[in-house]
Chain A
Amino acid sequence: MEIKKPAVAGTMESSDCMVTVEPGNGSIEFTLDSTVAHQFGNQIRKVTMETLERLDIDNVKISIVDKGALDCTVKARIEGAVYRSVDQYDNLPWGGAIK
C-alpha cells in the first residue's frame, strides 16, 4: 500500500495511542513518544514494523504517541490511520492484511 496523504487515528486517552502517518521519503521513519518507552519501546516498535509489513508499506513517516496501549490497540490505530490515508472505509481485508 502507498500512503497517499497524512492521516491520524487514536486519542491521547489512557490505554490508547495516537498514530500519525505521512507519505515517506523512501523508507520507514518511526518516532515514538511513550510514557512507558523505557519498558515497552522495543515491543511497540516490533508491533509497528509487523503491522506495516502486513499492510505492505515500506515508505512512510509514522509517529506514535502512546498512552499505555495494548499491542492490539497499537495495531488497530496504525491500520486506522493507514486506511484513512487512502480513504478506504469498506471492503476491508479483515483476517487478511488486518490480522
Chain B
Amino acid sequence: MINEQKKKRLRRSMMFLNGQKPSLIKDPYIYKADSLMFDLEDAVAATAKDTARFSLYHALTTIDYRGSEKVCRINGLDTDLWKEDIRCVVAADIEVIRIPKCENAEMVRQVEAEVLKAEKEFGKEEGQTLLMAALESAKGVLNAYEVCTASPRMIGIALSGGDYTKDLQTTITGTGVELMGARQHMIIAARAAGVQCFDTIWSNLDDMEGFRKDVETIKKMGFDGKSCINPRQIDIVHDIYTPTQKDIIFAEKVIKEIDDKKAKGIGVFTVDGKMIDIAFYDGAKRTIMLAKASGVYKGDL
C-alpha cells in the first residue's frame, strides 16, 4: 500500500550527505532538514561503494533521525551496483529512493521492479518504498512528464543542474538563465502529474546572497523545495518558505470565508479588497500547512 499522505509531505529542504562518511551520517538531524539524502552515488569513491552500504544500513536501522525523511540516492542503472544498493536500503526501511540520471519511464519501472522484489525478499510492506527521479540531461528534462507518471510510488522529480548544464553545453552561471527552461518545464510536468518538484543545489557557499535569491526565484516558480549541500543553507530555505504573518492572516480569512460563503451559496466575493473564489482554497490551505510546519502558526485551522 502506498501512503498518499507520506507522498505529499513537506519537503522544503533536502540535505545531501555522503554515505561514505560516518561523521556525516551519525547526527544530521540536528539541522532539521525536511529530508536527508544519503548518497551512495557520486559522493562515494569507487573504492568505498561496498563499505558505504554497510555504514548506511546500520545508520538507518540504528539512528533515530527525528522526523527528517530518509532518502537514498542509489548508483546509476548503467552500473553493477544499483540492485544491491536497493536490497540494502529497502532492508533498512528507507523511505524514498532517488534514481540518478533518469531519462525515461522505463528506468523508473526497472527500479520499481527491483524495489518490489526487495520488499518481498525482506518481508516489507509492498509499496512502503517511495521513488523520486533526478533529471540530469536534456533528454531527461524533456521526458519529465512520463518520468513523473511512470509509477504510483513517484513523489517527484529533482533537477540536477551540474550534469544538465554540461549536457546543454553551458555552465552554472549563478544567474539562473541557463536553468530557466528546465525549471519551467519540470514544474509544469510535475504539477500535471500531481507530484512534487525540487530544485538543484547551489554550490557557491561564499555567495549566500545569491543562494537566497535563487531560492526566492524557485519558490515563486512553484518548486516544493531546494537541494542543500551545507547546513548553513537549510535555515535560509526554511525562512523563505515560511509564510509571513500577513500571508497567514490572509490565508485564514480566505479559508474561513470560502467555507462560510459556500454554505450560503455564494461563489465569488472579496477579502481585503481582493477577488476570491474556490480557486484560492488550496493555495490558502498550503500556506497554513507551511506555517504549521515552520512553527509560526498559532491559529485554530
Chain A contact residues, CB within 8 Å of chain B: 9-10, 13-16, 69-73, 75-77, 79-80, 83-84, 89-92, 94-95, 98-99
Contacts and interface: CB of A to CB of B under 8 A. Distances in A.
B84 A10 contact: no
Nearest to A74: B58
A85 B130 CA distance: 34
Given A77-B51, A80-B51, A94 B23 contact: no
B23 A83 contact: no
Interface in B120-178: 122
A94 B22 contact: no
Interface stretch (B87-95, B197-205, B282-290): B87-95
**Interface bracket on B:** 20 to 34
Contacts of B26: 15, 70, 73
A5 to B, nearest CB: 15
Interface of B: 21-23, 26, 50-51, 53-55, 57-59, 61-63, 83-84, 87-88, 91-92, 122
15 contacts: A13-B21, A14-B23, A70-B22, A70-B62, A72-B58, A72-B59, A73-B55, A76-B57, A77-B51, A77-B55, A84-B50, A94-B92, A95-B91, A95-B122, A99-B61
A73 B26 CA distance: 9
A90 B84 contact: yes
Contact of B22 (A16, A79, A90): A16
A92 B51 contact: no
Contacts of A98: 54, 57
- Greatest chain A CB density within 10 A among B21, B26, B53, B58 is at B58
